Structure 1
Amino acid sequence: MLVTFRIKDTATRLSSEPAAITSIELAALTRKLHSHDVGLDVDPGEFEAAPINFEINANSLSMANFTSCFDHRAEIIEIVEEAQFLGRMLRVQHLGRAAPITIEVSEHIALVRDLMMGPDLAAKVLYALGRDNADPGELTLESLRTLLQDHRIYEAFCAAKISPIYDSLTFLAFTDCGEQVPVLEWNS
């Protein structure tokens, strides 16, 4: 099972609220995404061709392309606009038969790509960062920056022969996320 390292933010207050969408609107959105070759971050157990629970980069389509799938509804425009402004993903989800399908601003920041690696490599990375186990967790980007500036951390990455991952983590750590409160999360 792969371990994913990604930047997220659950602390910044959002101004938009999740909006219910119809299955016809969802179908229009997925058709538009597939026709523009937009990559979908599909939840486990979903079919990539017709997912119900997935995330997409809010900047992968223009505002007009997104909102045309929803008859230019004001609440959808507000959600897409906020996600695009914050550099976030959009989350589409359906929590069960009685629940509506919704679209909302995701907690995942789309400014940088996720890092995915096998569990053994992830354990080496976390050990080099001073973590004694590879359990799921998180670290503020500020704390990660501080760690990566310590020469002993760099030496630990070199000793484990994973210095290219040090460079990737540095890129993640020094990504400017505006006034958001980002953390680096890892889980499988």
Structure 2
Amino acid sequence: MSCAAASPWWSRSTAIPASGSFEIEVRVCPLALASIARCFDWDPAVITVVDEAQFLGRRARIWQSEPGGDIKLGLGLNPDAAPELEVANGNAYAILASLGLDEESCGAVPMSEVRQRLMDPRIRRRLDDDPHMTRYVEALTTMAALKPVDGEYHLAWA
């Protein structure tokens, strides 16, 4: 489960397909701009992208469309500070059920809906009373509090 921008969907990293192309999003906000720029020989275009990502609180996106092609850097859609929940299937289903969400579907739920459910006293009490769920409440609350630059974030699962 992760907090994601509405479209296109994102993940911290995308598996490298057989074609050799790749795409990842990396955190840049906790790093000094100068330390990142130094890795790219102080390229002004890199400095511009990283500076904008840091200003907006978003991740940087690095990708290569074809093997041997140019490696590109751009502004990612993901919030830099978005937590991710890495949970076993059983716990993921329990989280969805505790939030009153359909646990049999795969996909995404708008964070506004998750936020609304977390503010529901019955649901919140159920989460807080379950010792297995309390460790996820903080991350879910942090995800729900993030303000998107464009569109809406989603809680995504597969």
Please give the TM-score of this superposition, normalised by the length of structure 1.
Answer: 0.66
Matched, 1:169 2:140: yes
Unaligned regions of 5+ residues in structure 1, if any?
12-40, 47-51
Query: Secondary structure at 2:86's aligned position in 1?
Result: strand
2:96 and 2:31 mapped to 1: Cα distance? 35
Describe the shift of the 1:45–1:100 C-alpha distance in structure 2 as closer, same or farther (beyond 3 A). Answer: closer
- CA displacement, residues 155-185 of structure 1 (integer Å, 9 cap, x when unaligned): 443358413322331122123x364444133
TM-score calculated relative to the size of structure 2:
0.76
Residue in 2 aligned with 1:96?
Answer: 66
Q: Does the aligned pair in 1 maintain the 2:64–2:72 contact within 8 Å?
A: yes
Partner SS for 2:81: coil
Residue segments in structure 2 that go unaligned for 5+ positions in a row: none
Q: From 93, 103, 122, give the equivalent of 2:92.
A: 122
Q: CA RMSD in A?
A: 2.8
- Give the CA deviation at 1:135: 3.5
Q: Give the corresponding residue for 1:64.
A: 34
Show CA shifts across 1:21-67 (max 9, x none). xxxxxxxxxxxxxxxxxxxx554469xxxxx6433211132111212
Task: Name the CA distance, whole Å, in 2 between partners of 1:60 and 1:43.
Answer: 22
Distance 2:30 2:139 in 1: 22
Q: Deviations over 1:105-140 (max 9, x none)?
A: 111111232111111111111122222224332233
Gap change, CA 1:135 and 1:95, over 3 Å in 2: farther
In the alignment, is residue 8 of structure 1 matched against residue 5 of structure 2? Answer: yes
CA distance in 2, matches of 1:42, 1:132: 26
Deviation at 1:88, TM superposition (A): 1.2
Residues 84, 139 of structure 2: 8 Å contact kept: no
* Inter-CA distance 150–57: structure 2 relative to 1 (3 Å threshold): same
SS in 2 for 1:108: strand
Distance in 1, matches of 2:30 and 2:62, equals: 15
**Residues 10 and 83 (structure 1), Cα distance of their counterparts in 2 relative to 1, 3 Å cut:** farther
Identity %: 21
CA contact (8 A) 1:154 1:163 kept: no
- Number of residue pairs matched? 150
Q: After superposing the two structures, state which structure 1 stretch, 164-173 or 80-89, moved more.
A: 164-173
Conserved 8 A contact 2:83-2:139:
no
In 2, are the aligned partners of 1:83 and 1:105 still within 8 Å (CA)? yes
Alignment of 1:48-87 (within 5 A): 53-87=23-57
Which residue type is aligned with residue 136 of structure 1? C
